[in-house]
A and B are shown apart, each in its own frame.
Chain A
Amino acid sequence: MSTAVERAPASALAGSEPVGIAGIGLGVLAFWLALPPVHSRTVALPAVVGAAAIACGAWAVAGGRRRLGWAAVAAGVIGIAGAVLATHASVSHLQAVITWSTILAATLVFATPLTYAAIGGMFSERSGVVNIGLEGMMLMGAFFGAYGADKTGSWVAGVLIGMASGAALALVHAFFAIHLRADQIVGGTAVNFLALGITGYLYVDIYGNNGTPDNLPAIPDVHLGWLGSIPPHSLGSFLDEVLGSQNLMVWLSFVLLVVAYIVMFRTPLGLHIRSVGEHPRAADTVGISVYGVRYASVVTSGALAALGGAYLSIGFVNSFTENMTAGRGFIALAALIFGKWRPFGAFAAALLFGFSSAFAPQLQNVDAWSTYGTLFEALPYVLTLIAVAGVIGRSIPPAAIGRPYQKQ
């Protein structure tokens, strides 16, 4: 839909973009000041900072960066409101809930499967194939990762088998979407049903009521004890708590992120994928195989999503249960859209969504707040809804997404 394309008028005030971004930052800061460890107990300090955020936003709006500016204004208002709430809460409650190192460590844990699946989704969608089957592909990875690890006794083999299973499911999606030119949303829905059925069926058939064995080979954690000795002590122990014993897959997701960015934006292959997703006929006329690129991209997306699933089963909880992805594939899809189909954008969104998942259980620590934990789980979806609604800068998908290509 070609609604208003954002264009800064020629008369834009100088620096309205950095000022707007700074405004958003100040809004967040305003809230943060009222939280541990700073604990501003008066509203004054956050209010001043929040007001500055609003002022920055107003500047950006006046300078023509309307969306950014309004976002900064909103950040300022929400920041002040949050700070007001926080200053009214008791310090003990706040300390019980807000343990930054725990939250950040958990944020990474929750963000990791999303990152894998979202990066996978990026390949598929950048090549023009909608992939709402990410959920199913993750689930395949989760089950077959566990199954493979169990049968071979090696987590490496488990991960590879998991990836292969996701790729196989993606191949089905690809075949229907590309060769049979079926509707890609219908195909993705079907693939999700299929994965749910297949993994559930095999799980019951193979593991019955006992569940997966307790001694599943697990993807190891990476212990970085030396982080704790970084001076000053408080920083060192903070870093150690956040990063000191994360799973290997968490670190690999950072590597994947960089690789994905390079492939997509710094190699001919990436150029081909993007050209196929934007204008397949143009790519075809210069000799790029549209079908080939799309098959490769969709299968890659399946393998990567499955990697995220395998992390869930043999990296995180060390078992498989039916439907254990529980909608994470859809959150990954949301992260992809929220991040505007770019790797770092998707990663940032995954972190944000991971944060909300990490924060929700913290609320359980205070009885009075425990009921709101579930509400927090809805946050990623609400944010994505707001994002697609165009309030926070519009997400524009690849031009040819969802459209089957017919060779002449």
Chain B
Amino acid sequence: MASEPALLELRGITKRFPGVLANDHIDLDLRKGEVHALLGENGAGKSTLMNVLYGLYHPDEGEILIKGQRVAFASSRDAIEHGIGMVHQHFMLIPVMTVAENIVLANEPTQAKVFFDRAAARQRVREIAEQFRFAIDPDARIENITVGQQQRVEILKALYRRAEILVLDEPTAVLTPQEATELFAILERLRSEGLSIIFISHKLHEVLEIADRITVLRRGKKVDTVPREGATEDGLARLMVGRDVLLQVAKSPARPGDVVLDVDDLHVVDDRGIEAVRGVGMEIRRGEIVGIAGVDGNGQTELIDALCGLVKPSGGSVRVGGLDITNAGPSEHLDEGLGHIPEDRQRRGLVLEFSLAENLALHDFDKEPVARFGWLRPSLMLERARRTLPAFDVRGGGPRTLAGALSGGNQQKVVLAREIERDPKVLIAAQPTRGLDVGAIEFVHRRLIEERDEGRAILLVSLELDEILSLSDRILVIYEGRIVGEYSPAVTEEELGVAMTGGGRNKAA
């Protein structure tokens, strides 16, 4: 059996983008009926490699072999025809259409060769769902089903197209631990049915749980392929990062002072009219970092928006330094001593077409010194930027550089600079290191701890448990819009995981 040619083989795949070598001669082979994990940090080149495999990118060098045959994919249609199915991280589903319509799209059963045969589509979907024991309603609209169900639709979509190779791109990123466990059960079943699976992840424990073999990528290069047997988290982490990982950020114990952010029984209704925050209460003190852990979509965004005045709470109160700002607008919140590092710096944190100097003025463009009587004073704006940017180690441009021309890490430093420069009492950091490289992550983490030591209160909201565990002095767990527990940083990831799914139904792995 071992001599049988691999089901899929990638040889020397190279893909360049201007200024970046995204994939550098990567080799990979996939055997029939195995789960092969592709492990790497953000930016390691995993998604690029899979986009090459799926026909979305054309490799600059290298070749793809399926069952020993060389193939070239001009488009994803070719890849599909060769039995490759892909579950994208951001689902490729059309929200206003039904499950069945989404699954059969582009391969619709027809009546009289002209009409779309809805009944047959429904029937086919039911058959496949039964074959693989998926519970799904073919007539439900995508926008009305849960994220976990949507992911199953994506898998069904691949199975409907008779995929033999299933690629899952960070499939657990959007799932609760409970849903992730269910997904793993499904993957086991698919494997036993003879499918081969490529599982992309940057989470070590997942990879160790599900994969037969693990290929590690780092900065566009393949580092190694190892079997699961004998692999350890530490070993994999070292391969991934290229050195011993500092999972712990050096910091002294917190010395909490007075309460500066006091949230009482806060309720927030989201834009669909559903109550997303249901009675959150918390007190954040000067000189401490409080982490909010939780699976995405449990009310974090709405909580932050309400704290920052971006939406009006439907009930409860928010006080900063004793002052009630529950119903004030965003600019009053900012004026009263809230700093906010938004979760998406490019969309919410910066105006990419503005210069750095202008971006630094985003909150106080209408106040002294950068403005007076409604008039801007550009020279003072530039002067301030000249002082601030070096202090935050912003590289790659000066005050007149457009924000869009900076790298992600430097963009985040500009946001950090703006928020900290205003000397806020409370700093809210939402996903402050998402998509950053290791160096920038370290900078942001160090800076947050420094600010804590300066006596600021910091509320850290993150989906990365590592980040929460290593930075926080206290950890609050949010689940379905409520704070369901408070933990010290000594808590284990497992305990948090259980709390994040609404309390211990079973010990999540």
Which chain B residue lies CB-closest to A268? B108
CB-CB under 8 A for A286 and B80, given A2-B271, A3-B271: yes
B54 partner residues in chain A, CB cutoff 8 A = 285
CB pair B272–A275 under 8 Å, yes or no, is: no
B106 partner residues in chain A, CB cutoff 8 A = 268, 272, 283, 286-288
CB pair A278–B271 under 8 Å, yes or no, is: no
CB-CB under 8 A for A275 and B116, given A2-B272, A4-B273, A408-B51: no
Q: Which of B85-119 contact A (CB under 8 A)?
A: 86, 88, 91-97, 101-102, 105-108, 110, 114-116
Distance between Cα atoms of A200 and B272 in the complex (Å): 50
State the Cβ distance, A341 to closest chain B Cβ, in Å: 11
Distance between Cα atoms of A20 and B225 in the complex (Å): 66
Distance between Cα atoms of A399 and B143 in the complex (Å): 13
Residue A274 is within 8 A (CB to CB) of chain B in the complex: yes
Binary interface encoding of chain B residues 56-97 relative to chain A, with 1 for a CB under 8 A from any of its CBs, else 0: 110000000000000000011100100000101001111111
Residue A181 is within 8 A (CB to CB) of chain B in the complex: no
Which chain B residue lies CB-closest to A287? B77
Distance between Cα atoms of A272 and B92 in the complex (Å): 14
CB pair A285–B86 under 8 Å, yes or no, is: yes
Q: Which of A391-408 contact B (CB under 8 A)?
A: 399, 408
State the Cβ distance, B331 to closest chain A Cβ, in Å: 22
CB-CB under 8 A for A286 and B101, given A3-B271, A271-B116, A272-B106: no
B76 partner residues in chain A, CB cutoff 8 A = 284-287
Residue A279 is within 8 A (CB to CB) of chain B in the complex: yes
Binary interface encoding of chain A residues 262-279 relative to chain B, with 1 for a CB under 8 A from any of its CBs, else 0: 100011101110110011
A268 partner residues in chain B, CB cutoff 8 A = 106, 108, 110, 116
CB-CB under 8 A for A267 and B115, given A272-B106, A281-B92, A283-B105: yes
CB-CB under 8 A for A278 and B96, given A285-B76, A286-B80, A287-B77: yes
Residue B157 is within 8 A (CB to CB) of chain A in the complex: yes
Task: Among B91, B106, B157, find the residue whose CB has the most chain A CB atoms closer than 10 A.
Answer: B106
CB pair B105–A270 under 8 Å, yes or no, is: no
**Residue in contact with B273 in the complex, picked from A7, A272, A408, CB distance below 8 Å:** A7
**Tally of B interface residues using CB under 8 Å:** 32
**Tally of A interface residues using CB under 8 Å:** 26
Which chain A residue lies CB-closest to B272? A5
Residue A378 is within 8 A (CB to CB) of chain B in the complex: no
A286 partner residues in chain B, CB cutoff 8 A = 76-77, 80, 92, 105-107, 157, 161
State the Cβ distance, A275 to closest chain B Cβ, in Å: 5
A12 partner residues in chain B, CB cutoff 8 A = none
CB pair B92–A279 under 8 Å, yes or no, is: yes
Which chain A residue lies CB-closest to B271? A2
CB pair B116–A5 under 8 Å, yes or no, is: no
CB pair A288–B105 under 8 Å, yes or no, is: yes
Q: Which of A271-327 contact B (CB under 8 A)?
A: 271-272, 274-275, 278-279, 281-288
CB pair B94–A279 under 8 Å, yes or no, is: yes
Tell me how many residue pairs across A and B have CB atoms closer than 8 Å: 75
Q: Which of A207-228 contact B (CB under 8 A)?
A: none
Distance between Cα atoms of A221 and B443 in the complex (Å): 79
B92 partner residues in chain A, CB cutoff 8 A = 279, 281-282, 285-286
CB pair B105–A408 under 8 Å, yes or no, is: no
A267 partner residues in chain B, CB cutoff 8 A = 114-116
Which chain A residue lies CB-closest to B106? A286
Distance between Cα atoms of A271 and B108 in the complex (Å): 9
Distance between Cα atoms of A408 and B55 in the complex (Å): 9
State the Cβ distance, A397 to closest chain B Cβ, in Å: 11
CB pair B57–A408 under 8 Å, yes or no, is: yes
State the Cβ distance, A398 to closest chain B Cβ, in Å: 9
CB pair A287–B75 under 8 Å, yes or no, is: yes
CB pair B95–A399 under 8 Å, yes or no, is: yes
A284 partner residues in chain B, CB cutoff 8 A = 76
**Residue in contact with A270 in the complex, picked from B102, B116, B272, CB distance below 8 Å:** B116
Which chain A residue lies CB-closest to B118? A266
Distance between Cα atoms of A150 and B56 in the complex (Å): 51
Distance between Cα atoms of A266 and B76 in the complex (Å): 26
A262 partner residues in chain B, CB cutoff 8 A = 115
B105 partner residues in chain A, CB cutoff 8 A = 271-272, 275, 282-283, 286, 288
Distance between Cα atoms of A272 and B94 in the complex (Å): 11
Closest 6 CB pairs of A and B: A287-B77, A282-B92, A268-B108, A286-B106, A408-B56, A279-B94
A residues engaging B (CB < 8 A)? 2-5, 7, 262, 266-268, 270-272, 274-275, 278-279, 281-288, 399, 408
Q: List 12 A-B contacts (CB under 8 A).
A: A5-B272, A267-B115, A268-B110, A268-B116, A271-B97, A271-B101, A278-B95, A279-B92, A282-B93, A282-B102, A285-B54, A287-B75
B residues engaging A (CB < 8 A)? 51, 54, 56-57, 75-77, 80, 86, 88, 91-97, 101-102, 105-108, 110, 114-116, 157, 161, 271-273
Known A272-B105, A279-B93, A283-B105; further 20 A-B contacts with Cβ < 8 A:
A2-B272, A3-B271, A262-B115, A266-B115, A268-B116, A271-B101, A272-B106, A275-B94, A275-B97, A278-B94, A282-B93, A282-B105, A283-B106, A285-B54, A285-B88, A286-B77, A286-B92, A287-B76, A287-B77, A288-B105
